[in-house]
Chains A and B, each alone.
Chain A
Amino acid sequence: MESTRPKWPWIVASALILVWTIFPILWIVMLSFKRPGEVGNQKGFLPKHWTWDNYRTVFRTDLFTAALVNSIGISMIATFAGVVFATLVAYAIARLEFPGKKLILSFALAIAMFPVVSLVGPLFDLWRDLGLYDTWPGLIIPYISFALPLAIWTLSAFFREIPWEMEQAAQVDGATSWQAFRKVIVPLAAPGVFTAAILTFFFCWNDFVFGISLTSSDRARPVPAALAFFTGASQFEQPTTAICAAAVVVTVPVVVIVLAFQRRIVAGLTSGAVKG
């Protein structure tokens, strides 16, 4: 049936989607190449004079470089810890019989729906008492706990599909239990774990509420929060173009990850919804 119908509406629609999704990103890139003085005078989309100055500015601004280091460090550690915790839970849920399975899944779901802002006030107090305010662990801990639901649900959906009997089959064939685990289970589970890691990383990279509420200096402030407070190289110039350069820098890793792992991300985002 499809063959008898014209294809061009779908082609036009696809092209429109491409424009719609890429356009704002392209706009940020264009702004980042404009001279700071162009903002306010030249209102076009394209820069009149292309310049790398904004990139030089942001990499010379301690506020931004410190925030970049914070964002990378905090997100990586939180991703690693979160995925390890989620893998343990998901394994238990997929493989073991124990009371509270449903409870854990429902609890994780409840946390995914939680209004984060409601907790920020009390956490602010608690973190100050514990000395966690404005430190890396002070952000890592909330990131782990709020990224866990997504990781747990994705991974347990994934682990349910793994043919675990293969581990026993390998052992019957003479492999030790460690070999069976390493050579059979790890390669089967790795894609799921990897997908969970990408989604967790995106979550941490994207956070803003915790970033502005639980930090006060560049000791721990991540990029999104730093951007909101960024005033630029000079008090007399608009920070617009510099903010855009910084935004492009933190967007690059995201674009690379999306381009490289498109299929895995889609699978991870929809796994539970498809299989149930």
Chain B
Amino acid sequence: MTTLESAPAAGRRAGRRGTGRRGAGRADLSDRGRAERRLGLLLSAPAVIVMLMVTAYPLVNALYLSLFSYRITAPDDRRFVGLRNYATALTDSLFWQDVTTTFIVTAVTVVVELVVGFGLAMVMHRAVFARRTVRTAILLPYGIVTVISAFAWRYAFDLQSGFVNTWLGLGDYAWFSGRWSSLSVIVLSEIWKTTPFVSLLLLAGLAQVPRDLGEAATVDGATAWQRLWRVTVPNMKAAILVAVLFRTLDAWRIFDNVFVMTAGQQKTETLSFLTYRQTITRTAIGLGDAVGVLLFLSVVLIAVVFIRGFRVDLSRVRGDR
């Protein structure tokens, strides 16, 4: 038996280090297995180390510092306060207002994007006309920098530069002076930028729906609506759940659009923005880290609910923002 037949490249590489091909088969195998294991860990090490360095240590550090009253501007005043920062955050009405805002933004964007994204996916799936052009156009918002999308929509609705009021005949309506009108523009920009991602995932799901199933349903007299709900949607459930999971977590962390459009004014502040404002702008590290930890826990909670509750099949998921 030669190694060529039985072992992949790594095994062969490992085999060279082994005792020789004619040696006792079992010893040779385990030796090779050990070398393969070592190589696998070695190849994974750089990536894992970088990921740990940027996430694990800072997270532990945040947990630790969140137990202190600590401002960068007054490092000598640092003192242990236990869970008091969490109590402060959780009893503050601003915190709950930000939770509400974040929740509304997330719910609206995810629902709209799912519906619009599904429509886009259907068009891309079916379109005979300019199929390539449509797919390319769909990718453009995905590639555009979020901050630039935010500027585009902000300037379109802005009193000074915008054309929207003129086109809609709204006169001097100030979009950014009210909570709900500001949030509408923020949500619009978010939807424009991220629906392409949803539609591409759904398109991949659509491609998996067996074609003859739909045809059989048509022969049996099902309407288009029935076909959609009884055949198409159930067969692409996995893709839908993956899209919803990723978009929910992504929208829950919304930051760029809020920063550019309102800077958190008009009660449009979200949880990410609150964390940023406490840690970076106010340099209230202890309190800010407590909010950051709460944000982290909320993300974990959402992920667990989805993965356990809806049984999202993670082997189908790939990581994406």
Contacts and interface: CB of A to CB of B under 8 A. Distances in A.
Interface of A: 1-2, 7, 10-11, 13-14, 17-18, 20-22, 24-25, 27-28, 31, 39-40, 43-45, 85-86, 88-89, 91-93, 95-101, 104, 106-109, 111-126, 141-142, 144-146, 148-150, 152-154, 157, 164, 167-168, 171-172, 177, 202-203, 205-206, 208-209, 212-213, 223-224, 227-228, 238, 240, 243-244, 247, 250-251, 254-255, 257-259, 262, 265-266, 269-274, 276
A239 B260 CA distance: 14
A273 B8 contact: no
Nearest to B320: A150
Contacts of A98: 36-41, 44
A122 B59 contact: yes
B18 interface: no
Report the 10 A-B pairs with minimum CB-CB distance, sorted nearest first. A272-B318, A98-B40, A121-B279, A149-B319, A153-B318, A112-B319, A118-B292, A122-B58, A270-B204, A96-B40
Interface string B295-320: 11001000100000000011111111
A14 B129 contact: yes
Given A24-B153, A25-B152, A164-B9, A17 B313 contact: no
B172 to A, nearest CB: 11
Interface size class of B (residues with CB under 8 A): 35 or more
Interface in B4-47: 4, 8-10, 33, 36-41, 43-44, 46-47
Contacts of B165: 43
A273 B201 contact: yes
A249 B138 CA distance: 20
B242 interface: yes
Nearest to B156: A27
Contacts of A206: 145-146
Nearest to A273: B204
Given A96-B36, A273-B205, A243 B318 contact: no
Contacts of A92: 39-41, 43-44
B48 A107 contact: yes
A41 to B, nearest CB: 9
Contacts of B210: none
A96 to B, nearest CB: 4
Provide the main secondary structure of the chain B interface: helix
Contacts of A228: 147, 259-260
Name the prevailing secondary structure of the A interface residues. Answer: helix
Nearest to B284: A121
A272 B200 CA distance: 12
Contacts of A97: 33, 36-37, 40
Nearest to A88: B43
A44 B139 CA distance: 27
B123 A146 contact: no
A17 B138 contact: yes
Contact of B135 (A45, A119, A266): A266
Given A122-B61, A141-B54, A251 B148 contact: yes
Given A14-B130, A88-B47, A108 B192 contact: no
13 contacts: A24-B153, A28-B151, A31-B161, A91-B43, A106-B314, A107-B48, A116-B272, A118-B296, A123-B54, A228-B147, A258-B140, A262-B136, A269-B200
A6 B132 CA distance: 20
Contacts of A255: 140, 143
A266 B275 contact: no
Contacts of B200: 266, 269-270
B213 interface: no
Interface stretch (B89-97, B104-112, B249-257): B249-257
Nearest to A109: B319
Contacts of B318: 150, 153-154, 157, 271-273
A114 B197 CA distance: 18
A42 to B, nearest CB: 9
